[in-house]
Structure 1
Amino acid sequence: MLREKSMKTTLIAILGALVLEAALLGGIFLSFSNDSNDSVAAAANTGTAVKSAVSPVGTDIIADTVDKTSPAVVKIETQIKTTTRYYDPFFNDPFFREFFGSKSPYREKSNVTEGMGSGFIISEDGYILTNEHVVSGAIEINVYLTGQKKPLPAKVIGSDAELDLAVLKVDAGSKLPYLKLGNDQNIRVGEWVIAIGNPYGLDHTVTTGVISAKGRPVQVENRQYKNLLQTDASINPGNSGGPLLNLSGEVIGINTAVNASAQGIGFAIPANTVKSVLKNLIEDGKVTRPWMGVYIQTMNSELASQLGLKSSQGALLSGVMTGSPAAKAGLQQGDVILKINNQQITDASDITDFIQSKKVGDKITLLVERNGSQKTITVTLAEK
């Protein structure tokens, strides 16, 4: 009897648990169903689409950043004088040559072409940053400020072809909105960025994307860029010189290059590169670089074997320029630089990077191998 009663009690407990579980599951399912139906119904009633839960960046953040920064972005128009050299076909006529004598058969024709680019204001008194190639060779530069139909004449304060940077100055007669240069070291690959510029003359075009990579070396025509930021934000001709912004509205790069053979790949000069030379550009009109005056190449086992060296470490001096700091210090072609200021040299770029980190007038100490023996040579860097 007791056993029978115990079995009934257990059975009732199990059935109760199953009913409770079913109720809970039903409630949860009902709750999910109701939430979904309510959302869809609300969207239908208000005429708005249901927002995606995986949206990476709020559109309000981007729009707010654009509203805040766009007034400091400018359009730059230039007049560039070019000269074309051509052969005068009249010199094929013997009578013409006899009449005009031995003058050169080549003639020059001057043309004025129009150029366009972007830039952005970096101070309230009218200093503007852009690319050097935007204003290179210009005989006239005009800058269009936001909301103004009449341009302001601009002059080049400083420029550097190697870094592709230029600083312009306009006199607006009042304080101007400006952008702050940020720290590109703080931005990570995958973070969102905004590009503002004037591609194809389309004023204040905004594109967005992410940082695709950092530290990219890129060659465009005859210009070799180093350490560029890569982005998939659309950058087209006319964007050059415009800002690449983080979501806080800070400039983390200057849009400068487009890879014509690929889709969705653009490049920008890092903000830290700009900050390192900005004072020189404004005060001196150029970037002052230290110079040693040597041609170098990375050592390898084949070179070491040809030179009879036991080790392939270091960098080989394949040439020393006459009258250079290196020549004055006694460096010779065929020397192998093993160390610079006690730092081991593994390839030629180690020397280049080290020199670029120094100033004109700095003294550097080289450990050099020559004819099987090592010696220490001190070089005083001069201006390039």
Structure 2
Amino acid sequence: MKKRYLVLLVATVLLLSFSFIVSGATQFKLSINGISTDIGTATVNNKIYVDAEALANQLGFNASKTSKSINISTKNDDIIPNIIKSISPSVVGIIGNIDSGDSTAGGVALGTGIIIKSGGDILTNAHVVEAMSRIVVVLTDGTGYQARIKYIDKPSDLAVIKIDKIGLTAATLGKMQDIVIGKTAIAIGTPMSFQNRNSASVGVISGLNRSADGFYQYKLIQTDAAINPGNSGGPLLTTKGEVIGINSMTTVNAQGLSYAIPIDTVQYVLNHFYKYGKVKRVTMGAEFEEDYVALYGLPSRNGLKITSIDKGSCAEKYGLKKDDFIYSINGVYVNTLVDLNEAYKSVLPGNKVKVGVRRNGKVQSVNVVVDELK
């Protein structure tokens, strides 16, 4: 692995609250911790009945049933091993030669990946594979396959590699609503040595919407993970065994400060990969100065200051000027370049965006048709 590493987490207790929301005379919607579910309910003799197996699965518990009984286990000692057992066929080790361009240097690097398509597509970090001259993927059963880079996007640090193998077990991708501070998270990877493939760690989600200045252009999940080289590209999982992040980096000289790429960024990049063959990003053709208050994590709505505008750019075309402050994109406040990139995730080249501008103390909105970032 190169300069970034991966993931682990620390156990927590699941606190649950249930609510039934009336949506009709006898129709009820089951919510857990305020989050709506698709679990079916039935009303019989003024009592509400819930599918016990579906409820257990929703909570990440282990349910086993016979024709006459059902047993639900809420112990981590039962839940987590079953999750690891079920996800392990979808987790791969990645190893390859590093071509440094120097005949006296080079070596071998390793990382982790997660199978996302049964036909051989594997998601990992771009920094794991970008410098590999030969990539080998090793499945959980120990069989190895040569891989090639299918898609790679350095700004998001995500890549899809491909092996010629069908019938693989693809992981299930989760949802952003499943990423909650304090919830249990499970990380699987290849720490330190290739003989440690599919090592598992358990912890919590420590924070959301984190920035890693100079390393990542999008917001990250913070975990209390104990990180080791080789975990990069591995999955961060919920107690339902769903992927909510791709483990990517840690903080040097700090304890328990590690980061994963959240599932919304993963989905954004994958959608572009499979639709366009690359991530189609947008630009206004301007350079910005970030709000230093926001960079320190303090509340601010000062916005981004325009320091220069490219000749012939859409910023010039639609009347934006040097020293303008851009404070929002389509109603979303932006104070840092990470904020701006996040706001751009829902925008394609040629789309019209509503830009909130503050000029000489006066606020106005400007509609800008954005260009594609080349």
Same-fold call, TM cutoff 0.5: yes
Is residue 2:64 matched to residue 1:64? Answer: no
What displacement does 1:298 show? Answer: 5.9
Deviations 1:161-183 (A, max 9, x none): 111111111111x3011211101
| Separation (CA, whole Å) in 2 of partners of 1:263 and 1:344 | 33
8 Å contact 2:314–2:369 — kept in the other structure?
yes
TM normalised by structure 2 equals 0.69
Residues 1:264 and 1:130: Cα distance change in structure 2 (over 3 Å): same
Greater length-normalized contact order (CA 8 Å, ≥ 6 residues apart): 2
Counterparts in 2 of 1:379 and 1:240: CA distance versus 1, 3 Å = same
Q: Which has the higher helix share?
A: 1
Q: CA deviation at 1:371?
A: 7.3
2:233 corresponds to which residue?
241
CA distance in 1, matches of 2:92, 2:370: 39
Question: For the residues of structure 2 that align with 1:224 and 1:160, how far apart are their CA atoms?
Answer: 12
Q: Is 1:297 equivalent to 2:297 in the alignment?
A: no
Cα distance in 1 for partners of 2:183, 2:199 equals: 20
Q: Aligned AA for 1:257?
A: M
- Aligned Cα RMSD in Å? 3.0
What letter matches 1:78 in structure 2?
G
Structure 1 residues 314, 262: closer, same or farther in 2, change over 3 A? closer
| 8 Å Cα contact 1:315/1:345 also seen in 2 | no
- Separation (CA, whole Å) in 1 of partners of 2:334 and 2:209: 20
- The CA deviation at 1:293 is 1.1
Q: Deviations over 1:197-224 (max 9, x none)?
A: 11012211111111122222124xx523
In 1: Cα distance, 2:328 partner to 2:186 partner = 43
CA–CA separation in structure 2 for the residues paired with 1:367 and 1:268: 31
> 1:337-352 to 2 correspondence within 5 Å?
337=326, 343=331, 347=335
CA contact (8 A) 1:208 1:234 kept: no
Structure 1 residues 371 and 210: alpha-carbon distance in aligned structure 2, compared to 1, 3 A threshold? closer
Residue 181 of structure 2 corresponds to 189
Equivalent position of 1:75 in the other structure: 93
Q: CA deviation at 1:297?
A: 3.3
**Structure showing greater Rg:** 1
Contact 2:97 2:133 in 1 (8 A): yes
8 Å contact kept, 1:364–1:380: yes
CA contact (8 A) 1:195 1:208 kept: yes
* Residue identity matched to 2:142: Q
Q: 2:162 aligns with which of 154, 169, 181?
A: 169
Shift of 1:344: 8.7
Instruction: Tell me the distance in 2 between the aligned counterparts of 1:69 and 1:335.
Output: 50
How many Å separate the matches in 1 of 2:258 and 2:142? 29
Match of 1:143 in 2: 137
Matched, 1:113 2:104: no
Q: What secondary structure does 2:80 align onto? A: helix
Residues 232, 370 of structure 1: CA spacing in aligned structure 2 closer, same or farther, 3 A cutoff? closer
Partner Cα distance (1:212, 1:144) in 2 = 31
Equivalent in the alignment of 1:258: 250
1:109-166 Cα shifts (integer Å, max 9, x gaps): 57442111000101111110100000012221110011134x2111111111111111
* Inter-partner Cα distance in structure 2 for 1:139 and 1:185: 38
Q: Which residue of 2 aligns with 1:207?
A: 201
One-letter code of the match for 1:162?
P
* Cα deviation digits, residues 7-47 of structure 1 (max 9, x gap): xxxxxxxxxxxxxxxxxxxxxxxxxxxxxxxxxxxxxxxxx
- Aligned residues, how many? 291
Alignment check: 8 A CA contact 2:249 2:258 kept:
yes
5+ residue gaps, structure 2 = 1-73, 293-300
- Report the AA paired with residue 119 of structure 2: D
CA deviation after TM superposition for structure 1 residue 291, in Å: 0.9
Residue in structure 2 matched with residue 25 of structure 1 by the alignment: none
Q: What SS does the corresponding residue of 1:252 show, helix, strand or coil?
A: strand
Name the % identity: 38
CA distance in 2, matches of 1:179, 1:367: 40
Structure 1 residues 293 and 141: alpha-carbon distance in aligned structure 2, compared to 1, 3 A threshold: same
How far apart in 1 are the matches of 2:107 and 2:359? 54
1:327 matched to 2:316: yes
CA distance in 1, matches of 2:357, 2:270: 35
- Does 1:276 find its partner at 2:265? no
User: How far, CA to CA, are the matches of 1:237 and 1:69 in structure 2?
Assistant: 21
Distance 1:372 1:232, change over 3 A: closer
Contact kept, 8 Å, 2:285 with 2:310, in 1: the verdict is: yes
Q: Secondary structure at the match of 2:229?
A: coil
**Which runs of 5 or more structure 1 residues have no equivalent in the other structure?**
1-55, 85-108, 301-311
SS at match of 1:190: coil
- Can you list the C-alpha shifts for 1:40-66, whole angstroms capped at 9, x where unaligned? xxxxxxxxxxxxxxxx94211111111
Letter in 2 for 1:157: K
Matched with 1:318 is 307
Counterpart of 1:132 in structure 2 is: 126
Quote the offset at 1:292 in angstroms.
0.5
Task: Tell me the secondary structure at the aligned position of residue 83 of structure 1.
Answer: coil
Mapped contact 1:81–1:110 kept (Cα < 8 A): no
2:109 corresponds to which letter in structure 1?
Answer: G
In structure 1, the partner of 2:34 is none
Please state whether the residue corresponding to 2:84 is helix, strand or coil: helix
Structure 2 Cα separation of the partners of residues 317 and 81 of structure 1: 40
Distance 2:216 2:178 in 1: 25
Given candidates 120, 123, 126, the residue that maps to 2:117 is 123
Give the equivalent residue in structure 1 for 2:16. Answer: none
Q: 1:189 is aligned with what amino acid?
A: I
In the TM superposition, residue 288 of structure 1 has moved relative to its aligned partner by 0.8
